[in-house]
Amino acid sequence: MSNSSSHFYREKGFTLIEVIIALAVIAISMAAAINGVGKNINNASYLREKTLAHWVASNKVAEIQLSGVALDASEKKGEETLANLRWEWTVKIDETDIKDIKRLTVKVQREDGNGPSASVVAYVGS
């Protein structure tokens, strides 16, 4: 009798259960990674539109400040295009405790009402 014939020989490698568990772990990890990437894309889009809305509001404040036109307490509305998107803006002009200083409140939102909005408050001497 040979010693080699009496020993049970086991090949090295993974069992089917080990392979299935490894694939399940990889699948769960990939799902979490894809979910994270999707959220980052949505956040980037939101931040882009929020920044654009703030730019529209800041541009409107600068336009009013540079116009040199005497301001009275009122509310004005209009539209503007920036980055191929239509934006609606509202400028509310209020009196302050200081006679020659007016308070501007500019609110901006997308024309379709979707997406973020921005609001800027500034003070202008008249």
Does 3 map to a domain?
Answer: no
Statement: residue 1 has pLDDT above 60: no
Segment 66-81 mean pLDDT: 87
- CA-CA-CA-CA torsion sign (59, 62, 66, 68): positive
Residue 89 carries which side chain, given as an amino acid letter? W
Number of structural domains the chain divides into:
1
Helix or strand holding residue 39 (H, E): helix 16-67
Which pTM was predicted?
Answer: 0.70
Query: With 60 as the cut, is the pLDDT of residue 75 above it?
Result: yes
Judge whether 43 and 50 are in contact, CB under 8 Å: no
CATH, residue 95: 3.30.1300.30
- Domain assignment present for residue 5? The answer is no
Determine the pLDDT at residue 5: 54
- Backbone torsions φ then ψ of 63, nearest 5 degrees: -60, -45
Q: Has residue 8 been placed in a domain?
A: no
Structural domain boundaries enclosing 77? 14-125
